[in-house]
Amino acid sequence: MSEQDRSRLYDWWCEHADEALAEYAMSCLSPVPLPDLATKEDLRDVKADVREVKEDLRQVKSDVARVDAKVDALAVRMDEKFDRVLKLHEADSETAGKRHKLLVGAAIVLAAEIVAAEAGWLRWFTDLLASAI
Protein backbone atom coordinates (compact mmCIF):
# COMPACT_ATOMS: atom_id res chain seq x y z
CA MET A 1 0.00 0.00 0.00
CA SER A 2 1.40 3.37 -1.00
CA GLU A 3 1.70 6.39 1.22
CA GLN A 4 -1.16 8.08 -0.66
CA ASP A 5 -3.43 5.07 -0.13
CA ARG A 6 -2.53 5.03 3.58
CA SER A 7 -3.35 8.74 3.83
CA ARG A 8 -6.74 8.25 2.13
CA LEU A 9 -7.53 5.30 4.39
CA TYR A 10 -6.63 7.31 7.49
CA ASP A 11 -8.89 10.17 6.33
CA TRP A 12 -11.74 7.70 5.73
CA TRP A 13 -11.32 6.18 9.21
CA CYS A 14 -11.33 9.67 10.73
CA GLU A 15 -14.60 10.53 8.93
CA HIS A 16 -16.40 7.27 9.78
CA ALA A 17 -14.96 6.67 13.24
CA ASP A 18 -12.86 8.60 15.70
CA GLU A 19 -9.23 9.59 15.35
CA ALA A 20 -7.98 7.15 17.98
CA LEU A 21 -9.49 4.20 16.11
CA ALA A 22 -8.00 5.49 12.85
CA GLU A 23 -4.54 5.68 14.43
CA TYR A 24 -4.90 2.18 15.90
CA ALA A 25 -5.99 0.76 12.51
CA MET A 26 -3.08 2.45 10.80
CA SER A 27 -0.63 1.04 13.33
CA CYS A 28 -1.89 -2.47 12.57
CA LEU A 29 -1.08 -2.08 8.86
CA SER A 30 2.28 -3.13 7.51
CA PRO A 31 4.82 -0.33 7.22
CA VAL A 32 5.09 1.70 4.02
CA PRO A 33 7.59 0.16 1.59
CA LEU A 34 10.77 2.19 1.21
CA PRO A 35 10.31 3.10 -2.46
CA ASP A 36 7.16 5.03 -1.54
CA LEU A 37 9.00 7.19 0.99
CA ALA A 38 11.00 10.17 -0.15
CA THR A 39 14.53 10.22 1.21
CA LYS A 40 16.81 13.18 1.69
CA GLU A 41 18.78 11.99 -1.32
CA ASP A 42 15.59 12.00 -3.42
CA LEU A 43 14.86 15.54 -2.30
CA ARG A 44 18.43 16.61 -3.14
CA ASP A 45 18.05 15.07 -6.60
CA VAL A 46 14.76 16.88 -7.12
CA LYS A 47 16.29 20.19 -5.99
CA ALA A 48 19.25 19.62 -8.32
CA ASP A 49 16.84 18.93 -11.18
CA VAL A 50 14.92 22.11 -10.34
CA ARG A 51 18.16 24.13 -10.33
CA GLU A 52 19.13 22.60 -13.67
CA VAL A 53 15.74 23.42 -15.18
CA LYS A 54 15.95 27.00 -13.86
CA GLU A 55 19.44 27.37 -15.36
CA ASP A 56 18.16 26.01 -18.69
CA LEU A 57 15.26 28.46 -18.51
CA ARG A 58 17.67 31.37 -17.89
CA GLN A 59 19.71 30.23 -20.89
CA VAL A 60 16.59 30.06 -23.07
CA LYS A 61 15.52 33.54 -21.93
CA SER A 62 19.00 34.82 -22.75
CA ASP A 63 18.83 33.21 -26.20
CA VAL A 64 15.38 34.70 -26.80
CA ALA A 65 16.62 38.16 -25.80
CA ARG A 66 19.60 37.80 -28.16
CA VAL A 67 17.32 36.73 -31.03
CA ASP A 68 14.94 39.62 -30.27
CA ALA A 69 17.87 42.04 -30.46
CA LYS A 70 18.91 40.58 -33.81
CA VAL A 71 15.34 40.84 -35.12
CA ASP A 72 15.12 44.47 -33.99
CA ALA A 73 18.45 45.26 -35.67
CA LEU A 74 17.27 43.56 -38.85
CA ALA A 75 14.03 45.55 -38.78
CA VAL A 76 16.01 48.80 -38.51
CA ARG A 77 18.23 47.77 -41.44
CA MET A 78 15.18 46.84 -43.51
CA ASP A 79 13.58 50.23 -42.77
CA GLU A 80 16.79 51.98 -43.85
CA LYS A 81 16.96 49.95 -47.06
CA PHE A 82 13.30 50.63 -47.78
CA ASP A 83 13.84 54.37 -47.32
CA ARG A 84 16.89 54.25 -49.60
CA VAL A 85 15.00 52.30 -52.29
CA LEU A 86 12.07 54.70 -52.02
CA LYS A 87 14.39 57.69 -52.53
CA LEU A 88 16.03 55.98 -55.52
CA HIS A 89 12.61 55.22 -56.98
CA GLU A 90 11.55 58.85 -56.56
CA ALA A 91 14.78 60.01 -58.22
CA ASP A 92 14.29 57.51 -61.06
CA SER A 93 10.71 58.67 -61.54
CA GLU A 94 11.84 62.29 -61.68
CA THR A 95 14.60 61.44 -64.18
CA ALA A 96 12.17 59.39 -66.27
CA GLY A 97 9.73 62.32 -66.30
CA LYS A 98 12.45 64.71 -67.48
CA ARG A 99 13.59 62.22 -70.14
CA HIS A 100 10.01 61.81 -71.34
CA LYS A 101 9.54 65.57 -71.66
CA LEU A 102 12.85 65.85 -73.52
CA LEU A 103 11.92 63.07 -75.95
CA VAL A 104 8.45 64.52 -76.54
CA GLY A 105 10.03 67.92 -77.21
CA ALA A 106 12.55 66.36 -79.61
CA ALA A 107 9.75 64.51 -81.41
CA ILE A 108 7.77 67.76 -81.78
CA VAL A 109 10.83 69.59 -83.11
CA LEU A 110 11.58 66.74 -85.53
CA ALA A 111 7.96 66.66 -86.68
CA ALA A 112 8.06 70.42 -87.21
CA GLU A 113 11.28 70.04 -89.25
CA ILE A 114 9.68 67.31 -91.35
CA VAL A 115 6.57 69.42 -91.92
CA ALA A 116 8.73 72.43 -92.81
CA ALA A 117 10.81 70.33 -95.22
CA GLU A 118 7.68 68.85 -96.74
CA ALA A 119 6.17 72.31 -97.09
CA GLY A 120 9.37 73.52 -98.76
CA TRP A 121 9.35 70.58 -101.17
CA LEU A 122 5.67 71.16 -101.99
CA ARG A 123 6.36 74.86 -102.58
CA TRP A 124 9.26 74.02 -104.91
CA PHE A 125 7.14 71.45 -106.75
CA THR A 126 4.20 73.85 -107.11
CA ASP A 127 6.58 76.58 -108.32
CA LEU A 128 8.03 74.13 -110.82
CA LEU A 129 4.58 73.21 -112.06
CA ALA A 130 3.54 76.86 -112.20
CA SER A 131 6.61 77.79 -114.24
CA ALA A 132 5.99 74.89 -116.61
CA ILE A 133 2.51 76.03 -117.37
- pLDDT 10s digits, 6-38: 888 889 889 988 888 888 888 888 776 666 566
Co-location of 17 and 79 in the same domain: no
Q: What are the distances in angstroms from CA 40 to CA 36, 43, 44, 45, 55?
A: 13, 5, 6, 9, 22
| 23 shares its domain with 79 | no
Same domain, yes or no: 45 and 33: no
Same domain, 121 and 73: yes
Answer yes or no: do 86 and 117 share one domain: yes
If asked whether residues 101 and 116 sit together in one domain, one would say yes
12, 77: one domain: no
* Angle made by CA atoms 71, 77, 78, in degrees to the nearest 5: 85
Q: How many domains does the chain have?
A: 2
Statement to judge: residues 25 and 80 lie in one domain: no
- Angle between helices 3-16 and 19-28 in degrees, nearest 10: 150
Q: Looking at the structure, tell me whether residues 24 and 59 fall in a common domain.
A: no
Asked whether residue 48 falls in the same domain as residue 29, the answer is: no
What residues contact residue 2 under an 8 Å CB cut-off, 6+ apart?
32, 36
29 plus 94 within the same structural domain: no
89-118 residue pLDDT tens: 999 999 999 999 999 999 999 999 999 888
The residue length of the chain stands at 133
Rg, the chain, Cα only: 49
Give the pLDDT of residue 58: 97
Q: Which domain holds residue 17?
A: 1-37
